[in-house]
Chains A and B, each alone.
Chain A
Amino acid sequence: MGAQYSDATEAYIQSVIDDFEAEHTNVKINLEIVGWDNIGTRIRSMVGAKQAPDLYNGGSAGEFVGDDLLYKAEDVISPELKADFFQVFWNNNIDPDLDEVYQIPYVASVRALYYNKAIFEEVGIEEAPKTWKEVEEVSAKIKEHYNGDVYAWGVDATLTEGQTLLAYYGWNNGGGFVDDAGNYIVNCEENVEALEWIYDMYQKGYTNENPSIETRDDMQKLVAADKMAMLVTANFFPALYPELEVGIAEIPYNDARVSSSSSMAVQDALIFFNENAKATKDTPEKMQAIQDFLDFFYSAEYYTDFMVQEGLLPATLTGAERLAKENPEQAVYIDALEGSKFYARSKQDWQDCSTGVCEAGQKVFTGMQTPKEALDELQMTLEN
């Protein structure tokens, strides 16, 4: 069972399965594709009823590993496949409490600053801002030029993407979600300062008006409609609006705290349910078939075409090589992948942290709490 990335997802994966089944006539694979809104609902219902699928993309291992429902990745995949994944991706998937890997990368995307070239030209801005100070200067110019009709900067604190607050702004101020040992540090000074900065941008009228309800999609539309100048979003954005002239730059950072920008990558993972979550027995033959299918699925050809179709990036070395060869303009993203930071998705209570950050952001932008209060409260909840 997998998540729906676009309305062509299902057809593509089915075609891969058909090709695989044509080669392995004794194997039959059932596919189910579910929209992101509902996939969490469905998988939990299935697990509760011991009906989990063998392969699942749509959540992270942390949600299930505590109940001993998952295979270790290395028990399922071939050593060749393991070696093909980018090292940063593999390392990001290590469960810090168990020191084991229970999920493999499925798709990747990187985030960057996108800006509307027409607006920049109109206002007379030549270069994308690199630091927070420059962001403020550029924003002030845009606000003045358009008399407030065009938003300079997009902020997202909704439930779908609100956790990016600590990534886009926290990381670029030296903060983040976890320290090197994997402990939560959501209320660290750097994070508080980062939230205060973006809240200050909001109060000065440089951002969209309702960060707590305006989603990434809404804001992408605003950029496309020449109503918003700058937005940090994912690399699939330009492809959605082919007629829009967008510039790409690194996510701005606070040069008072850090010396360079932290680029950010997101990976969706594939996990493997074990017999505790299923009603059937996993025979050695079946496990071999799964391993074969994964090798097939992740082979450079099929995997990269899938990623190109969805506007996403491959997480394998062979895939990246093929992509760079066939779509040179995507190569810049591949380079960014290697040095990127990731969410701490392998932590078992990552979901609590992620929704917690969204909620904290919503409380800040609706004026219910100050950044410090909101993050302190979240830290306390996470520590309990």
Chain B
Amino acid sequence: MKTSTSVKKRKKGRLSRYEAYLWLAPCLVLVTIFVFVPVIETFVLSVSEVSRAGLVKGFGGLRNFQFVLGQPVFGRVILNTVVWTIVNVGVSMVLSIITALVLNEKFHGRKLARTVLLLPWATSQMITASAWKYIFDYQYGALNALLLKLGLIKTNINFLGSANSAFICMIVVGITVTIPFMTFTLLSGLQSISTDFYEAATIDGANFWDKLFRITLPLLKPAINVTIVLNTIYVFNNFTIVFTITNGAPANQTSTMMVYLYYLAFKKGDYGASAAISVIGFVILLAFALLYMKYQMKEETAS
């Protein structure tokens, strides 16, 4: 009698130990087949000899990586990607914190303002980027027409004319589409902060800035961290904006890694090199995520 209950208990224990897998099964099956299989394929391609038509012709060792790293333009592409990601996420973060604080206040037209802010998120990036491409056009662009009408400029500005100015324009577009999701995540974080903190602080005589730096930002930190990690991944992986507006021109000087790997694969037909860049990009992102999490954990245990 006694043994049988303990066996039963153990059996039940083991079942519930593995029961989780049953719950996870649909998710894991989906992700394994549709994400990890192509991922493995990409890793295999990166160390394969791949023909012009895209067929694998055998093991190629690290030749694809050597080829990519040997391209004179690759340094610029990496630099672009880093600048693109850091400036985009950094500026968006600051603006999103301000926007979230503003939208957390009660004021006339708040509902409308929130709806408007959702627009860039609700519009497909292909459409947004096309619209901005048209706006920035040197000859018939809408922005030049507007500035001329307002008398702010005498001759048209060539926004997309040089690699640097085009890149700045694209970062502006990137920030515009990054802000909504960031702001709404932060806004959610703000709303979870109990008003008790502020009431106590007001009694203590704290002013607006004290409250901001002593209460709001520290309590918002978890939301900020999540937002930074997620958006860094999204912005780094963003392809549509640069692809639509400049497609890397001139001479890949405005390419990010995503656009460059697409160029290598589908303009030049070099799948091996393209896959090698995918792998390099993945390693960079993984390193960032690990370092960031480690740093955050250290800080948390320290405080």
Chain A–chain B contact at Cβ < 8 A: yes
- The 5 A-B residue pairs with the shortest CB-CB distance, nearest first, are A212-B250, A362-B251, A362-B250, A48-B54, A41-B266
B111 within 8 A of A: no
In the bound complex, do residue A355 and residue B268 qualify as a contact, i.e. CB atoms below 8 Å apart?
A: yes
Considering only residues 274-314 of chain A, those with a C-beta below 8 Å from chain B are 277
- Across-interface contacts of A213 in B (CB, < 8 A): 160-161, 166, 246, 249-250
Partner pick for B158 among A209, A227, A348, CB 8 A cutoff? A209
In the bound complex, residues from chain A placing their C-beta under 8 Å from that of B54 are: 44-45, 47-48
The reply to whether B158 and A366 form a contact with Cβ atoms under 8 Å apart is no
Contacting residues of chain B (29-55) with chain A, CB-CB under 8 angstroms: 51-55
CB distance A363 to B251 under 8 Å? yes
Is A362's CB under 8 angstroms from B249's CB?
Answer: yes
In the complex, A354 Cα to B266 Cα: how many Å?
Answer: 14
How far is B81's CA from A92's CA once the two chains are assembled, in angstroms?
Answer: 42
How distant is the Cα of A66 from the Cα of B57 in the complex, in angstroms?
A: 12
Instruction: State in angstroms the CA–CA spacing of A118 and B252 once bound together.
Output: 37
Asked if A107 is at the interface of the complex by the 8 Å CB criterion, the answer is no
In the bound assembly, the distance between CA atoms of A352 and B264 in angstroms comes to 11
Residues of B within 8 A of A (CB): 51-55, 138-140, 158, 160-163, 166, 246-253, 265-269, 271
From A44, A64, A222, B266 is in contact (CB under 8 Å) with: A44
Would you call A67 and B53 a contact (CB within 8 A)?
A: yes
Check A366 against B250 for contact (C-beta < 8 Å).
yes
For A355, the chain B residues whose CB sits under 8 A away are 267-268
Chain B CB within 8 A of A69 CB: yes
- What separation, in Å, do the CA atoms of A95 and B251 have in the docked complex? 29
Contacts of A348 in B (CB 8 A): 52
Known: A44-B54, A63-B53. A210 touches B161 (CB 8 A): yes
From known contacts A41-B266, A64-B53, A213-B160, infer whether A221 and B251 are also in contact, taking CB-CB under 8 Å: no
Interchain CB contact under 8 A, A44 and B246: no
Cβ of A159 under 8 Å from chain B = yes
CA distance A209 to B249 in the complex (A): 14
In the assembled complex, 19 residue pairs joining A and B whose CB atoms fall closer than 8 Å, in A order, are A44-B53, A44-B265, A44-B266, A47-B55, A48-B54, A48-B55, A62-B52, A63-B52, A64-B53, A66-B53, A69-B53, A157-B250, A209-B138, A221-B140, A351-B267, A359-B251, A359-B252, A362-B250, A366-B163
Q: Is the CB of B251 within 8 A of A366?
A: yes
- When distances are taken between beta carbons in the complex, the residues of chain A under 8 Å from B266 are 40-41, 44
Encode A159-192 as 1/0 by CB contact (under 8 A) with B.
1000000000000000000000000000000000
Q: Which of A48, A157, A348 has the most CB of B within 10 A?
A: A48
- Binary interface profile of A, 20-44, with partner B (CB < 8 Å = 1, else 0)? 0000000000000000000011001
Give complex CA distance A126, B52 in Å.
Answer: 50
Contact indicator B249/A212 (Cβ below 8 Å): yes
A229 → chain B closest CB, angstroms: 15
Inter-chain CA distance A209–B52, complex, in Å, is 35
A343 at the interface (CB under 8 A from B): no
Q: Is the CB of B268 within 8 A of A210?
A: no
The 8 A CB mask of A47-84 against B (1 = contact, 0 = none) is 11000000000000011101101000000000000000
Assess whether B52 is in contact with A66, with CB atoms less than 8 Å apart. yes
Name the one of B161, B247, B269, B271 contacting A63, with C-beta atoms under 8 angstroms.
B269
- Do residues B138 and A210 form an inter-chain contact, with CB atoms below 8 A? yes
Which residue of chain A has the shortest Cβ distance to B253 in the bound complex? Answer: A366
Known: A48-B54, A212-B250, A351-B268. 19 other contacts (CB 8 A): A40-B269, A41-B266, A44-B53, A47-B55, A63-B269, A66-B52, A159-B248, A159-B249, A209-B158, A209-B161, A210-B161, A213-B161, A213-B166, A213-B246, A213-B250, A221-B140, A348-B52, A355-B267, A368-B251
0/1 per residue, A184-223, Cβ < 8 Å to B? 0000000000000000000000000110110000100110
Chain A 132-168 interface mask (CB, 8 Å, partner B; 1/0): 0000000000000000000000000111000000000
Considering the chains assembled together, what is the distance between the CA atoms of A221 and B134 in angstroms? 14
Q: Is B53 within 8 A of A47, CB to CB? A: yes
Q: Which residues of chain A are near B267, meaning CB under 8 Å?
A: 40, 159, 351, 355
Which residue of A has the minimal Cβ distance to B155? A149
A365 at the interface (CB under 8 A from B): yes
**CB closest chain-A residue, reference B57:** A67
Instruction: Please tell me if the beta carbons of B250 and A351 are within 8 angstroms of each other in the complex.
Output: no
User: Which residue of B is nearest A49, CB measured?
Assistant: B54
